[in-house]
Chain A
């Protein structure tokens, strides 16, 4: 992806191809790997939340990550998105982008979107505005002061509203949505960013069975076009979407493979039953 292509078309006055405050380079995934973590360690006051964690995600892959509470799943996402710096190890996005050197906004620009464990949306903005703010666009101060919503951009937001089934709530304050709707809105916000890689931390927590079902369908349609890393405790949901599953335990990979194989692994059974 070229730097210029990061901006939405029809952005007011964006004739220049110069990308704002971030020069993150382009994603080079020629070897088919979009994300590569190697020997990542993170400790909090001597406690090792991640311990020599290594993981590789392929382009277009849908990877499920499971593991007991405190296994380090959220911490792993914190490391990938720049919120937490690892004590050791490397994180590469494609072949060339070293994520440990970038800030959170730069990582977002490079093409990584993240859904938090606790739904994080802009509660005092309308649903429409939530999507507008997260939409891929020039995100520099000067440009946003004079930004006008083009009709194409409006259409893209309208499409997304339909897709996340919130078209009837477009003008509502997002804080008034149900928990499941907030989850969907946050997923919609991620998609508006047009990321290459989506990190989804417990996306179906608090959703009704019906909503969970639809989320599974959505993720299956996204795989291929995007790479996805899904963290979930809901095994029924995992069962619906799983291809390759990674089990984390005490900060490192305990097992990896197809769901059925992982579920039969005695070490995995012990970790889950031992609790």
Chain B
């Protein structure tokens, strides 16, 4: 057999990551599981090397965003489907975890009732049906992925089967998250209205605001983020991943090859939604609040901007974009809070004009030179 074929074939059985990739992951593991815990918990606050709680929470939060960005890249970068409603799946995961955290408050709320304060305030005598079993961690953990997954399945089934595509699909997802936001704003929906859930006290029985709990949540988030990245990478390097990009580039040809694109889109759409749910569930205990604002259309658009800035269809670009944009955001909102949205718009315009393939694309083109 001729050698180009052999190289092509070995190129096909793509490794998950090359040595450089694994090295980067190893560094991330050391930073997350060694450097941060030691510098935050063991080094005295006076020391210049101390990492403050502010940074732990900020990085923990951005890692959740990075998971959402990976989810977005799977569906947008690889399958070519731009969702402008991913904030909804994130928020649903957050609400599912939030329900459990509300139950964990127990009688330590203002009204010292078994029911969450907002329910006492509304004079409700018993829990709504959606709160069934919500004092069980395992049940809420299941809801965290099941609710976004099922909603995505139902929505995707109809949208993909009716061949809704391109900008129409994006607009419908945007409308979906907007409608959900309005629904969650209502007190009667049973999830705390526009205040959402907050004032959490405990998780799994341990106080939630101690430095140790914070660090555990941070480490768990880091582990789940790395796991998500490897899972996503496994998917996109498989034959299934190649079919997804083929659907993005020439859906007609894919169909005439005998693949049913609906099933493939549905698969990656549901996986993507479940990753968002997981990210939302890790976000809420660290940030300490979830409210319908997370479902605002602007939030979902921001997710797409992270991925565009980092570079679509690379996964690592999504992670990078989430860190860059949100790092910039937390810096700028401290300095000039009222200008953030202008900056975001500017970043988006500049990156589409000058970085069509994002930061990762830029680095790649440098390397080629």
Task: Please tell me if the beta carbons of A108 and B13 are within 8 angstroms of each other in the complex.
Answer: no
Q: Which residues from B are CB-within-8-Å of A21?
A: 260, 263
B346 to chain A, nearest CB (A): 30
Q: Which residues from B are CB-within-8-Å of A83?
A: 252
Mark B1-37 against chain A: 1 for CB-CB distance below 8 A, else 0: 1101101110111000000000000000000000000
Task: Please tell me if the beta carbons of B5 and A161 are within 8 angstroms of each other in the complex.
Answer: yes
Is A193 on the interface with B (CB-CB < 8 A)?
yes
**How long is the Cα–Cα vector from A198 to B11 in the complex, in angstroms?**
30
Task: Please tell me if the beta carbons of A104 and B5 are within 8 angstroms of each other in the complex.
Answer: no
Is B258 on the interface with A (CB-CB < 8 A)?
yes
**How long is the Cα–Cα vector from A109 to B270 in the complex, in angstroms?**
26
Is A165 on the interface with B (CB-CB < 8 A)?
no
Is A144 on the interface with B (CB-CB < 8 A)?
yes
B272 to chain A, nearest CB (A): 14
Task: Please tell me if the beta carbons of B239 and A147 are within 8 angstroms of each other in the complex.
Answer: yes
**How long is the Cα–Cα vector from A103 to B5 in the complex, in angstroms?**
34
Task: Please tell me if the beta carbons of B258 and A193 are within 8 angstroms of each other in the complex.
Answer: yes
Task: Please tell me if the beta carbons of A122 and B250 are within 8 angstroms of each other in the complex.
Answer: yes
The one of A81, A120, A145 that contacts B235, using a Cβ cutoff of 8 Å: A145
Known contacts A129-B12, A170-B8: does B259 contact A139 (CB below 8 Å)? yes
Residue of A whose beta carbon sits closest to that of B2? A167
Task: Please tell me if the beta carbons of A139 and B258 are within 8 angstroms of each other in the complex.
Answer: yes
Q: Which residues from B are CB-within-8-Å of A108?
A: 255-258
**How long is the Cα–Cα vector from A133 to B253 in the complex, in angstroms?**
10
Task: Please tell me if the beta carbons of A127 and B9 are within 8 angstroms of each other in the complex.
Answer: no
Q: Which of A114-139 contact B (CB under 8 A)?
A: 114, 116, 120-129, 132-134, 139
Task: Please tell me if the beta carbons of A144 and B243 are within 8 angstroms of each other in the complex.
Answer: yes
A226 to chain B, nearest CB (A): 16
Is B238 on the interface with A (CB-CB < 8 A)?
yes
B87 to chain A, nearest CB (A): 26
Known contacts A169-B4, A171-B8: does B253 contact A144 (CB below 8 Å)? no
**How long is the Cα–Cα vector from A169 to B235 in the complex, in angstroms?**
26
Chain B contact surface mostly: helix
Task: Please tell me if the beta carbons of A103 and B12 are within 8 angstroms of each other in the complex.
Answer: no
Q: Which residues from B are CB-within-8-Å of A120?
A: 250, 252-253
**How long is the Cα–Cα vector from A126 to B267 in the complex, in angstroms?**
24
Task: Please tell me if the beta carbons of A129 and B255 are within 8 angstroms of each other in the complex.
Answer: no
Known contacts A120-B250, A124-B249, A193-B258: does B243 contact A171 (CB below 8 Å)? no
Q: Which residues from B are CB-within-8-Å of A167?
A: 2, 4-5
**How long is the Cα–Cα vector from A122 to B267 in the complex, in angstroms?**
21
Task: Please tell me if the beta carbons of A133 and B240 are within 8 angstroms of each other in the complex.
Answer: no
Is A206 on the interface with B (CB-CB < 8 A)?
no
The one of A103, A116, A124 that contacts B260, using a Cβ cutoff of 8 Å: A103
A229 to chain B, nearest CB (A): 14
Task: Please tell me if the beta carbons of A121 and B253 are within 8 angstroms of each other in the complex.
Answer: yes
**How long is the Cα–Cα vector from A120 to B245 in the complex, in angstroms?**
14
Q: Which residues from A are CB-within-8-Å of B255?
A: 103-105, 108
Is B264 on the interface with A (CB-CB < 8 A)?
yes
A38 to chain B, nearest CB (A): 23
**How long is the Cα–Cα vector from A247 to B9 in the complex, in angstroms?**
44
**How long is the Cα–Cα vector from A134 to B12 in the complex, in angstroms?**
15
Task: Please tell me if the beta carbons of A149 and B12 are within 8 angstroms of each other in the complex.
Answer: yes
Residue of B whose beta carbon sits closest to that of A134? B257
Task: Please tell me if the beta carbons of B238 and A189 are within 8 angstroms of each other in the complex.
Answer: no
A181 to chain B, nearest CB (A): 14
**How long is the Cα–Cα vector from A261 to B239 in the complex, in angstroms?**
50
Task: Please tell me if the beta carbons of B4 and A129 are within 8 angstroms of each other in the complex.
Answer: no
Task: Please tell me if the beta carbons of A144 and B240 are within 8 angstroms of each other in the complex.
Answer: yes
B187 to chain A, nearest CB (A): 41
Is A140 on the interface with B (CB-CB < 8 A)?
yes
Q: Which residues from B are CB-within-8-Å of A169?
A: 4
Task: Please tell me if the beta carbons of B249 and A123 are within 8 angstroms of each other in the complex.
Answer: yes
**How long is the Cα–Cα vector from A168 to B7 in the complex, in angstroms?**
11
Q: Which residues from A are CB-within-8-Å of B254?
A: 133
Task: Please tell me if the beta carbons of B242 and A141 are within 8 angstroms of each other in the complex.
Answer: no
Mark A134-168 against chain B: 1 for CB-CB distance below 8 A, else 0: 10000111001111110000100110010000011
A191 to chain B, nearest CB (A): 12
Residue of B whose beta carbon sits closest to that of A122? B246
Mark A85-128 against chain B: 1 for CB-CB distance below 8 A, else 0: 00000000000000000011100110001101000111111111
Q: Which residues from A are CB-within-8-Å of B5?
A: 128, 157-158, 161, 167, 170
Task: Please tell me if the beta carbons of A132 and B239 are within 8 angstroms of each other in the complex.
Answer: yes
Q: Which residues from B are CB-within-8-Å of A103?
A: 255, 260
Q: Which of B216-270 contact A (CB under 8 A)?
A: 235, 238-240, 242-243, 245-246, 249-250, 252-260, 263-264, 267
Task: Please tell me if the beta carbons of A133 and B258 are within 8 angstroms of each other in the complex.
Answer: no
The one of B13, B238, B245, B263 that contacts A125, using a Cβ cutoff of 8 Å: B245
Task: Please tell me if the beta carbons of A113 and B2 are within 8 angstroms of each other in the complex.
Answer: no
Interface pairs (30), CB distance under 8 Å: A21-B260, A21-B263, A103-B255, A104-B252, A105-B255, A105-B257, A108-B257, A116-B253, A120-B252, A126-B8, A126-B11, A126-B12, A128-B9, A132-B239, A133-B246, A139-B259, A140-B263, A141-B263, A144-B239, A145-B235, A145-B238, A145-B239, A154-B9, A158-B1, A167-B2, A169-B4, A170-B7, A170-B8, A171-B7, A171-B8
* Chain A interfacial positions (CB closer than 8 Å to B): 21-22, 81, 83, 103-105, 108-109, 113-114, 116, 120-129, 132-134, 139-141, 144-149, 154, 157-158, 161, 167-171, 189, 193
Q: What 5 A-B pairs have minimum CB-CB distances, sorted nearest first? A: A108-B258, A170-B8, A128-B8, A171-B8, A104-B255
| Other A-B pairs, 7, CB within 8 Å; known A120-B252, A122-B249 | A125-B249, A133-B242, A141-B240, A141-B264, A144-B238, A170-B4, A170-B7
* Chain B interfacial positions (CB closer than 8 Å to A): 1-2, 4-5, 7-9, 11-13, 235, 238-240, 242-243, 245-246, 249-250, 252-260, 263-264, 267
